[in-house]
Amino acid sequence: MGLRPVAMEKVALIGLRSDEERILTVLHDLRVAQIEPLSPASLAELGPERGSETLRRIGDETLRFRGLLAALPAVPSPGPRRFSSLEEVLELARSVPIDAEVGALVREDDQLQTERKTADDTIALLGKLDFYGERLDLLRARNVLAFYGEGDAEAVERLRAALPASADAKLLRGPAGATSRFLVVGRSSAGEALSSAAQREGIRLTNLPDVAGPPQDERARLELRRAAIDRRREEIRGRLAEVATTWYPTVAAIVEALDVENRKAEVLTRLGASGSAFALEAWVPKRDAARLRSVVEAASEGRVHFTTVPTDEEPPTLMSNAAGVRRFEFFVRFYSLPQASEWDPTLVFSIAFPIFFGFMLGDWGYGVVILGISLWMIAGFPGARHLPKAGRNFVKMIMGPKGMQQLAWALLPGCAIAIALGLFWDEFFGFSVLHTLFGYVAPVKPDSSADIPKLLLFAGYVGLGMVVLGFLFGAVKEYFHHHPRGVLAKSGGILFAFGVAFTGLALIHHATSPSAHPIDYAWYVLVGVGLALLVGGEGIQTGMLGLIEVISHTLSYVRLVGILLASVILALVINTVAVGRFRAGGPLEPLWIVVALVVLLVGQGFNVILGVFEPGIQGARLIFVEFFSKFYTGNGKAFRPFGVARTHTVPSVDEDGNLGPIVRAPEP
């Protein structure tokens, strides 16, 4: 864990073509190297790698076995399988004899599933036609057109009146009810007129099912057929389960092994090769470079040349934070991934954001509610299907389920701080519960005019600290990037921020004359030196804008108190209105009690929603704008190592980086 992304270095290795498969397998299983396209200079010497005819066989077998894997139900595997070579994988693939049977069963099941869906729809329609007792094939004469329809009784009556005489149409209505069901029969030449009339009345007409007998008889017949379909599909699932018991672990292992080979084939286009050698370049975390070298050398039995490549390219970014801090990487990535050569601000974000959120919420009642909602989100939204659909869709528009869970994790420490501050301030949904029950007198109350200046002063110090820390990060970044003028400008921002802040405090305390407090000379000096450094480092125009930025960004943190006060005052207004209605009395007292409860629940619910969005958005904004702007560039490229974790096959390298048995690949 640290304030910087993981340090990277670019490496190159040259090996023999006979070792290429083994080396790529090791690189895949180590998962520490992002293989890059070979540099043009190296390609000019070696030429591109073309691969071999074996790749076509790998592709064909991959399609075949992915189909088998999708068809078979998953069963527990006795353990991962070890393959010593690609040829062993292909040989095992050729020996699997279940294609014909599994394919026939899957095709039959697909046909039965389609037939069952048709039967379900037809049975449902025949159930609506229970008022018609004649054979349905009588309605399919050459010159006859018949439809089933349903709609509002008045709309159906208007449709009956609107039927043109030329259609010679008859309308047979079912039993009376909220929705009127009917059959309309007419000449086949009047189909367009019937459709237009129904459309005008908002009635949907449906073609009759393609069955011959009366609806009740046909429905009974189809229900028997549906039961037979279900029995046959159950037999198919049972047979597939039997096949899976024997073959699923083998098929899963072959699919995983072939997927590894396909990934290796994808990176071949980035390699260079000659008749007997190949070369590749890759970004590797410096912490893993020595292990990579030793494992690759062991895999090739020393027949490899491994070297570091000097380059001015911007490396990919790999963030490395502790488990708790890692939860906040979501916010940093949402803003922009840091470049590998700059600060990773996740640690600062993980500290500042919960403090800002908790301070702006500042109520232990709201904190407990939002904490409960966050835990519900982390648990996977149990029971969410019972919530109103409009609310679920609104939440999905804002963020997906995974994003909501990441947000919930990040809100937990903020809720804890809000609960602690709410208990200290004695704020519970705007009520002073601790004072009422236990006589507790809060040392500070956010709604007290005497305490608001203290809160504003605290917010000002927080703003000063965040702005100074941002400039400090910026100065160090400029130093390591060898930009001396940038170092001067950022240092000037620090001095100017301190000078303006403490000069302002001196003026607030009526120390308007430097002679009254000699130390004020230091603040004036800091303002002047900071101004000179800013202008000297960034020029007059940019430097003067920097001065405005220092002041505005420091004062921007006053919004911490503003949002806290808005929440507290809104809660007080809601409570005052609700309590006033509750005490209204008179003959309408029961009604006023109901009104008071509605005002209280709706108003406090609305304030809870604001308690999530306002502190969350404004807390993140204070960090993104007022803090990040001093040092953060972003637009980094994510580190994407070659390889994925294996499940069904044994990797060539164990968790400790030890190489497995070396098996020579067959000569091409």
- Residue 667 clears pLDDT 90, i.e. is over it: no
Nearest CA-CA partner of 217 in 154, 139, 313, 132? 132
528 within some domain: no
371 within some domain: no
State how far Cα 534 lies from the chain centre: 41
Nearest CA-CA partner of 65 in 648, 663, 656? 648
- Residue 637 clears pLDDT 90, i.e. is over it: yes
The two tokens of residue 652 are: 């060539």
- Residue 167 clears pLDDT 90, i.e. is over it: no
Nearest CA-CA partner of 224 in 123, 136, 137? 123
The two tokens of residue 504 are: 């302002």
Mean pLDDT value across residues 232-244 = 96
Q: How many domains does the chain have?
A: 2
Residue 613 phi/psi, 5-degree rounding, is: -75, -50
Nearest CA-CA partner of 425 in 351, 366, 349, 354? 366
- Residue 195 clears pLDDT 60, i.e. is over it: yes
Of 255, 282, 308, the one marking the end of a domain is 308
| Cα distance between residue 233 and residue 231, in whole Å | 5
- Residue 663 clears pLDDT 50, i.e. is over it: no
| Cα distance between residue 167 and residue 629, in whole Å | 75
Q: Pick 536 or 293 by higher pLDDT.
A: 293
DSSP 399: -
Digit-coded pLDDT (tens) for 242-284: 999 999 999 999 999 999 999 988 888 888 888 888 999 999 9
Of 187, 207, 227, the one marking the end of a domain is 207
| Cα distance between residue 264 and residue 254, in whole Å | 15
| pLDDT computed for residue 660 by the predictor | 63
Digit-coded pLDDT (tens) for 77-124: 888 998 888 889 999 999 999 999 999 999 999 999 999 999 999 999
Digit-coded pLDDT (tens) for 578-592: 877 665 555 556 776
| Cα distance between residue 647 and residue 470, in whole Å | 44
| Cα distance between residue 20 and residue 9, in whole Å | 22
By three-state DSSP, how is residue 605 classified?
Answer: helix
Residue type for position 589: E
355 within some domain: no
CB 487 within 8 A of CB 538: no
Expressed in angstroms, the distance from the first to the final Cα of the chain is 45
20 within some domain: yes
- Residue 538 clears pLDDT 90, i.e. is over it: no
| Cα distance between residue 66 and residue 259, in whole Å | 10
Residue 275 phi/psi, 5-degree rounding, is: -65, -30
Domain that holds residue 43: 8-49+271-308
Nearest CA-CA partner of 558 in 468, 453, 472, 470? 453
| pLDDT computed for residue 664 by the predictor | 38
CATH number at residue 141: 3.30.70.2750
State how far Cα 377 lies from the chain centre: 13
Nearest CA-CA partner of 353 in 376, 372, 327, 384? 327
| pLDDT computed for residue 561 by the predictor | 93
- Residue 11 clears pLDDT 90, i.e. is over it: yes
193 within some domain: yes
- Residue 150 clears pLDDT 90, i.e. is over it: no
318 within some domain: no
641: region left, alpha or beta (phi > 0 left; psi from -120 to 50 alpha)? beta
CATH number at residue 14: 3.30.70.2170
319: region left, alpha or beta (phi > 0 left; psi from -120 to 50 alpha)? beta
18 within some domain: yes
What letters, b where the CB count within 10 A reaches 16 and e where it falls short, cover 469-496? bbbbbbbbbbeeeeeeebbbbbbbbbbb
| pLDDT computed for residue 467 by the predictor | 93
Mean pLDDT value across residues 56-84 = 91
242 within some domain: no
Of 279, 308, 337, the one marking the end of a domain is 308
CB 442 within 8 A of CB 426: yes
Residue type for position 472: L
